Chain A
Amino acid sequence: MEIKVVRKVLDVNEKMAEQNRKFFAEKGVFVLNVMSSPGSGKTATLEKTLSYIMPEIKSAVVVGDICTSNDADRLAGTGVPVVQVNTDEFGGDCHLAAHVIEKAADNIDLDDIELLIVENIGNLVCPAEFDIGEDARVVVLSVTEGEDKPVKYPLMFRECDAAILNKIDLLPYLDYDIKETIHNIKQIHPDMPVFEISATKDKGLEPWIEWLKSKVNSKQKRL
């Protein structure tokens, strides 16, 4: 006998994400989900970003890591509240799911912040599939990763609202065609802004900071 089901497999996560989104909206907190392959420079980009936007935009960070606290320690150095989640406890997952964010948010005073940044697990596949209740998604890609990444991982580049192309300080030493990377990104997501930066050498961050500030402020205005 055939029994009709017709349900999304990720139904539970999607409902939880919607609940998070509602809760963050009530608190007036803008949530940014930052994703990339391992080592593209998410933590470095966030350290630098926080140094630009604090104290103007009060922020906190949730950082996912499979088993260490290195990234949390680095981010705490910027003076913002940092909550570390090791997905080990949740089965060593390759992504942060909505219920993990709900738990992590318990440890943050949401009345005191305007921006919650989530550094997802380093992985270009899985995090794209899991809504966490965020307002915007950003993918960080570094110039050492090859020009074809956007076309190899189309879902990630479709799902994100902006791309950060990091480590441009290394361009003189590489045989890398940055125009081709940008062309590939635009094939997947034609109107997505692409910010070329060097997080460690502090180059090119202003347009990205302006973009982020305007996103956070537009949510504040809607309240």
Chain B
Amino acid sequence: MHEMGIAMEIIDIAISSIPDNVKNACVEKINLKVGKLAAIVPDSLRFCFDIVSKDTPLAGAKLNIEEIPVVARCKECDFKWTINTPVFKCKKCKSGLIDIVSGRELDIISIEVVEE
């Protein structure tokens, strides 16, 4: 639902990351990491991105989204596991004291640019 705003942020960050010495830059690909716990639906992000990137150096760029699994670590017994069902309890000792190690990401990793 807020994918439109997210797409706009991505465009701002990507444009400001194009080096000054690249003339008429055309961005072909944006590499993103999106955690499975992040409130983002990749398809609607792509849809919004295509709309808001028109008339920018990012028009036509592909969003390459790497989905990151939710990984937790138990604070009691240090056990580390991947969460695939919505249960946030240690698989080994059943403790509820856990850290989310990954799965909350919403990061721009890199952009791929060609000069025209």
Q: Interface residues, chain A, CB within 8 Å of chain B?
A: 1-12, 91, 93-95, 123, 125-126, 128-130, 150-151, 154-155, 158, 186-191
Subset of 8 A-B contacts with CB under 8 Å: A5-B108, A6-B108, A9-B107, A94-B1, A126-B2, A128-B39, A190-B95, A190-B97
Query: Closest approach, in angstroms, between the C-beta of A118 and any C-beta of chain B?
Result: 17
Q: A115–B14 Cα gap in the complex (Å)?
A: 39
**Is the Cβ of A151 less than 8 Å from the Cβ of B2?**
no
Q: Give the Cβ gap from B36 to chain A, nearest Cβ, in Å.
A: 10
3 closest Cβ pairs, A-B complex: A190-B96, A126-B2, A151-B86
Chain A residues lying within 8 Å of B89, measured Cβ to Cβ, are 187, 190
- Complex CA distance for A187 and B89, rounded to whole angstroms: 7
Pick the contact of A158 from B2, B13, B100, B110 — CB < 8 Å? B100
Contact, CB under 8 Å: A8 / B106: yes
Complex contact A9–B10 (CB within 8 A): yes
Q: Are B97 and A2 in contact (CB under 8 A)?
A: no
Chain B interface residues (CB < 8 Å from chain A): 1-2, 4-6, 9-10, 13-14, 17-19, 22, 32, 37-40, 86-89, 95-97, 100, 106-114
What residues of chain A lie closer than 8 Å to B14, measured between beta carbons? 5
Known contacts: A5-B108, A6-B110, A190-B89. The answer to whether A129 contacts B2 by CB under 8 A is: yes
Candidate in B14, B18, B39, B106 with the most chain A CB atoms within 10 angstroms: B39
Nearest Cβ distance between residue B79 and chain A, in whole angstroms?
15
A190 and B88 contacting across the interface, CB-CB below 8 Å: yes
- In the assembled complex, the Cα of A80 lies from the Cα of B77 at a distance in Å of 47
Known: A125-B39, A151-B86, A154-B37. A8 touches B107 (CB 8 A): yes
Known A6-B108, A188-B88; further 7 A-B contacts with Cβ < 8 A: A6-B107, A8-B108, A9-B6, A125-B39, A129-B106, A187-B88, A189-B88
Which residues of the partner chain B approach A151 to less than 8 Å between Cβ atoms? 86
> What CA separation (Å) do A9 and B114 show in the bound complex?
22
Chain B residues with CB below 8 A from A8, complex form:
106-108
- What CA separation (Å) do A128 and B114 show in the bound complex? 37
B2 and A95 contact, CB distance less than 8 A = yes
What's the minimum C-beta distance from B83 to chain A, rounded to whole angstroms? 9
Cα–Cα distance between A187 and B2 once the two chains are bound (Å):
26
Q: Which residues of A contact B111 (CB under 8 A)?
A: 2-3, 5
- With A128-B39, A155-B39 given, is the CB distance from A3 to B2 under 8 Å? no
Inter-chain contact B86/A154, CB cutoff 8 Å: yes
Within 8 Å CB of A10, what residues of B? 6, 9, 106
